[in-house]
Amino acid sequence: MTNLSVNINKIATLRNARGENNPNLESVALDIEQFGADGITVHPRPDERHIRRDDVFRLKPLLKSEFNIEGYPSEQFIDLVLKVRPSQVTLVPDAADALTSSAGWNVAANAEFLSSIVERFKEAGIRTSIFVNPDIDTVKAAAATGADRVELYTKPYADLYPTDPEAAIAPFFEAATAARKAGLGVNAGHDLSLVNLEFFSSRIPFLSEVSIGHALICDALYLGLEETVKRYKKCLK
């Protein structure tokens, strides 16, 4: 069964809006675990506009599920990850001022850089995933870096799914199959939702993990957080 990792950045955004500790990020993360999620994802950015460095340190000893930290591998980010030692680190190519992730790595053009980062994290016993577009050559290049997994950038799938689900899933199935053949685990994330997740999961049965934040938190405004987590988990069966 595919794991559901819930990205809690939006909870931190809401908390930061008032400058206080409401909602309490740690309490929400623990509730999400209790409601059935298999992991918690955070994406600390340099400006700390949502997740802060101290949030990451406070969360680590509290969580019982897998902890995934996403981010661009700057020296500051690397230092944070090596100190916290999460279950997984996901490397994304975002600029410091990026609103959200908008593309995967050009792995071939950054192969030496990524290989050196992967080596540092693997020496620390941290599973490493590289955020990529659904492209077979890119997946093969990611495998050559020594990474453990790739995370497929699924916004193109989400955009096309309403009008042509088969065309939407095709490149992702091919990329996931190539990853599996190369010995990589397959994660996925970005704009996956209750509308499109079940179809995606059913077509890629060897999917290890999905990381979902924005859509899940939006759904929780209407359904409640516990019911929302349960519905997302049901999509992954």
DSSP string, 58-95: HHTTT-SSEEEEEE---HHHHHHHHHH--SEEEE----
Question: Quick check: 118 pLDDT over 80?
Answer: yes
Question: Quick check: 41 pLDDT over 70?
Answer: yes
70 belongs to the catalytic site = yes
What's the number of CA atoms in the CB half-sphere (13 Å) around residue 99?
2
- 33, 43, 66, 151: the catalytic one is 43
Q: What is the pTM of this model?
A: 0.95
Specify the pLDDT at position 103: 82
Q: Which of the residue ranges 44-53, 128-137, 226-235 would you say has the lowest mean pLDDT?
A: 44-53
214 belongs to the catalytic site = no
- 66, 70, 151, 209: the catalytic one is 70
The rounded distance, in Å, linking the Cα atoms of 190 and 58 is 26
Return the structure tokens found at 3.
């794991």
50 belongs to the catalytic site = no
Specify the pLDDT at position 1: 86
3-state DSSP assignment of residue 93: coil
Specify the pLDDT at position 208: 98
Question: Quick check: 140 pLDDT over 90?
Answer: yes
Q: Which of the residue ranges 28-42, 85-99, 114-128, 214-228 would you say has the lowest mean pLDDT?
A: 85-99
Could you give the angle at the alpha carbon of 8 between the alpha carbons of 6 and 9, nearest 5°? Answer: 135
